Chains A and B, each alone.
Chain A
Amino acid sequence: MRINMEATTNLVQQAKNGDVDAFSKLYSFVYEDLYRFAFYTLKNQEDACDTVSDTVLAAFSQIKKLRDPSLFKHWIFKILSNQCKRKLKEYTKKTVELPDDLGSYEQDFTEGCQLRMAFTTLSSEERLILSLHQFAGYNSKEIGSILHMPSATVRTKEHRALKKLEQAMHE
């Protein structure tokens, strides 16, 4: 979503003053990508919704800390990616397998469906890297700062993930 910067600045200012409607408007610009990001990373619809809701609450309570309104999208994705990271960590401790909604989303065999199924074969880190790139629009340096790894490592992992994705699609 491309947003006029001045309008964003204004809405952020209002949201900082506690205006829920202004914040909701800002959210409406990005929520689809936020959901897609969470869904593709976590694979689970319920958890994706919860993570997005938690992100909204956290973002609204912390928007006063957003110094540069033009970075709103960037900023809210950072909150979301941290929430997703936490969720992924929880998964590693859980013994019960969560329903994989991403891979079984539709029964027909469209290319989109094929891709989603291929996507589920990636590791959580790989899904996170590709989602950060695609939905949050982060570059490898920024992804590196979120995942605490050098940007070169991000690029290698990203390359490998895409290769894996391509192979899985053709299987």
Chain B
Amino acid sequence: MNHEDLYEKIKQSSEEITIPNKIKPEKMNQMLKNSQAPKKKNPLLYVAAPALSFVVMAALVVTVMQKNDMPSSLSNYTGSIASNEAQVLVEKAQEIQDGIDAISSILYPANSYEKLYKQTIDVASEKEKKYYFIEEDAVNEETLNASGAISDLSGTRSDFSNTNLRTEGVDEADMVKTDGTYIYSAIDKSSIRCYKANKGKSTLISTIVPTPEDLGGEIKEIFLNENRLYVIFSKYESTLETDKEGTSFAEDIAYVSNNVTTSLSTYDVSDPKKPVLIATATQDGDYYTARKINQTFYLITSYYPEDGSQSFFDKIKNNFRSSSAAEKEGKNYAPKVNNEAISPCNIFLGKEQTSNDYLVISSISEEKPEKIIDSKAFSTYINNVYVSNQSLYLYYTQYSKNSSSTNIIKINLSEGAIIPKGVGNVPGTINDTFSLDEAEDYLRVVTTSSTQDNGLYILNDKMKIIGKLTNLAPGEQIKSARFMKDIGYFVTFRNMDPLFSVDVSDPKNPKLLGELKITGFSEYLHFFGENQLLGVGYEVNPDTNETVGGKLSMFDISNPSNVTEVKKTVIKSIDEIPALYDYKSFLVSPDKNLIGFMGTDWSGLVADTYYLYTYQPQKGFVLKRKIPIDVCTDKKARGIYIEDYFYLVHKDKVESYSLSD
């Protein structure tokens, strides 16, 4: 009997056995739901300035000013100021109203906690949830369909590395940050280590550990700017509570309450030996991501009000029929920022809401890091976000039987104001955050449709498609994309790896410029110096379609119509490049001529190695360092440089290497 026959027999024999009831999906569902008991929140009074009252306020200001009798000389003066202010308020109110209108096809403001209550209950009690159509289609476990990564070819003037960013000018929180003298590392998640780096020598000088009341939490990521260290921390609290409100349910029922709160804590590190906590702002929900644009932080969390234990929903269904009780209870479901429930006018419910998930976005200024400037909550799950210098785009894909399309919600971020701008829809799915790019109010998006056609779509500021280029590389899938000014580059993959270049200078009429076919595929693209584009991905044997190893490619893009692969190197000992899922862990500096990333070797004992390359036009990619990494670091090590030294920051130590030899 050959092996296949034997395996077939094993398979057949295994299909005869009865699967025990207790591990059936519905039982596991119950088990999971029981394992996470509902959380309960204390209602707190909150007076917000909802969108509607903005209109009222503006109108009032105008009226008051008109009725005021003032000396003509003065009134000319103050009058102009007052009407300007009134004008600003009216415009602001109008802007908010326009934003609400613009996304009204999918989201609308709750405006009252009663509405929030009702919708939460409706969604939660809908027992039969609808799922997306599942069709017979193989899951290809071989092809790693990863995200790409990185900042533009910016290059800071100071001689040390910054986090690899998606958008130049939009800072991103990460686990390791440096100011050129000190290195702060939060890799360990339970403390922040501060090292002093001096010509290749690094000394641990202080450690920040959470206070006892913060136990049960986790340090997520950090920002560093001008003697201030900003620490993002998520706290997971579980407490046993009894119901004291005397409802029809037994009063002595106790349940576990779970609460996740994310905070942004500001430390003064002007003396890094003695960091001083100076402010903390909090927001409900688990940390999703954070950005900093100019002097404003945007903190994004995912929030789920109550998690669906049946007894809990029976209780609320039976007891909050009256409008005032519902209003009161609904407030408990609203996400809180700095311990105050977000105003119902700033909570957007879904037109076709299927889950009680919210994405909560708050803005916090560097100047007053304890204060929340603005907050919005959107009832939507998302695939990912893309943040440009002025906008936040949230996107999620919807599936129907034979097609998929992606909704993109545009939110304007302007000095802390978070204002929805519109919602657009493009066919297909979006690979990652690099597949979207904003330039001068236009959004360019590349997508792969369910029939595996690829397309480029250009949307205007109202999120309407005004230009497109479709039918690119049918049967293939977009693996990476990068835009530079008027040219977009993207890589698709099936067997070969075509790199496409597209002219998007005329938004109404994008043009395909060129197509380059090479083996393997790049999952991450990064502009590397003038007229060069770096691709990081995997090499594939075109005959067997098997991955051969990691691959670095350098493309000459001086003529976008005729892109060429000038150099490449294949690293056979790499089976996986974790940075392809986490672009922030790449070190790419065209100025310093450094390319650093981690590679995983799956053969034998799983081993991680940090690879540091430099690029020489003649020789191509030259390996500078190959540093073994302890597998236990959870693939989180970061490589940075300060002047002529390279530092590899591990969970509990920093290694350094000279770059000059």
Main secondary structure of the interface of A (DSSP, over half): helix
Q: Which residues of A contact B627 (CB under 8 A)?
A: none
A97 to B8, CA, bound (A): 30
Given A56-B32, A150-B604, A68-B13 contact (CB < 8 Å): no
B307 touches A18 (CB 8 A): yes
Partner among A5, A24, A113 whose Cβ is within 8 Å of the Cβ of B28: A24
Would A149 and B604 count as touching, CB distance under 8 A? yes
Tell me if B17 and A36 are in contact (CB < 8 A).
Answer: yes
Bound state CA distance, A22 and B20, in angstroms?
Answer: 22
Nearest-neighbour CB distance to chain B for A25, whole angstroms, equals: 6
Cα separation A5 to B134 with both chains bound (whole Å) = 9
The verdict on A14 contacting chain B, using a C-beta distance below 8 Å, is yes
From residue 17 to 72 of chain A, which have CB atoms closer than 8 A to chain B?
A: 17-25, 27-29, 31-32, 34-36, 39-40, 45, 49, 52-53, 56-57, 60, 67-68, 70-72
Closest to A139 in B: B142
Interface residues of A in 57-97 (CB under 8 A from B): 57, 60, 67-68, 70-74
Q: Is B11 an interface residue (CB 8 A)?
A: yes
Which of B6, B26, B143, B382 touches A24 (beta carbons < 8 Å)? Answer: B26
Q: Which of B19, B22, B141, B399 contacts A10 (CB 8 A)?
A: B399
B603 contacts A4, C-beta separation under 8 Å: no
| B-chain residues with CB within 8 Å of residue A98 when the two chains form the complex | none
- Contact A32 B131, CB 8 Å, known A71-B141, A134-B11: no
* Residues of B16-36 whose CB lies within 8 A of A: 16-17, 19-20, 22-26, 28-29, 31-33, 35-36
Q: Does B267 contact A (CB under 8 A)?
A: no
B140 at the binding interface (Cβ < 8 Å) = yes
In this assembly, does B9 line the interface, its C-beta being within 8 Å of a C-beta of chain A?
Answer: yes
Q: Could you tell me if A74 and B141 are in contact, using CB atoms closer than 8 angstroms?
A: yes
With beta carbons under 8 angstroms apart, the residue of B16, B29, B35, B146 that contacts A112 is: B16
Is A128 close to B, CB under 8 A?
no
Chain B interface SS verdict (over half): loop
Chain B residue nearest in CB terms to A148: B605
Counting chain A residues whose Cβ lies within 8 A of the other chain, the interface size class is 35 or more
Cα distance, A110 to B307, chains bound together (Å): 47
- Please give, as numbers and ranges, the residues of chain A lying within 8 Å of B17 by CB-CB distance: 36, 39, 105, 116
Whole-angstrom CA separation of A75 from B438 in the bound complex:
35
Q: Are B23 and A53 in contact (CB under 8 A)?
A: yes
Across-interface contacts of A149 in B (CB, < 8 A):
604
A11 in complex: contacting residue of B26, B131, B139, CB < 8 Å: B131
- The answer to whether A14 and B355 touch across the interface, beta carbons within 8 angstroms, is yes
| Whole-angstrom distance between the Cβ of A113 and the nearest chain B Cβ | 8
Partner of A4, one of B7, B129, B137: B137
Is A151 in contact with B603, judged by CB distance below 8 angstroms?
yes
User: B20, A49: Cβ atoms under 8 Å?
Assistant: yes
> Does A14 lie within 8 Å of B23, measured CB to CB?
no
- Asked if A45 and B20 sit within 8 Å, CB to CB, the answer is yes
Contact partner of B357 (CB less than 8 A), chosen from A19, A32, A36, A166, is: A19
- Across the A-B interface, the 6 shortest Cβ-Cβ residue pairs: A112-B13, A67-B581, A24-B29, A28-B25, A115-B13, A36-B14
Give chain A's interface residues, CB within 8 Å of chain B. Answer: 2-11, 13-14, 17-25, 27-29, 31-32, 34-36, 39-40, 45, 49, 52-53, 56-57, 60, 67-68, 70-74, 105, 110-113, 115-116, 119, 130, 133-135, 137, 141-142, 144-145, 148-151, 159, 162, 165-166
Residues of B within 8 A of A (CB): 1, 3, 6-7, 9-14, 16-17, 19-20, 22-26, 28-29, 31-33, 35-36, 129, 131-141, 143-146, 302, 304, 307-308, 355, 357, 381-383, 396-397, 399, 404, 429, 450, 581-582, 602-606
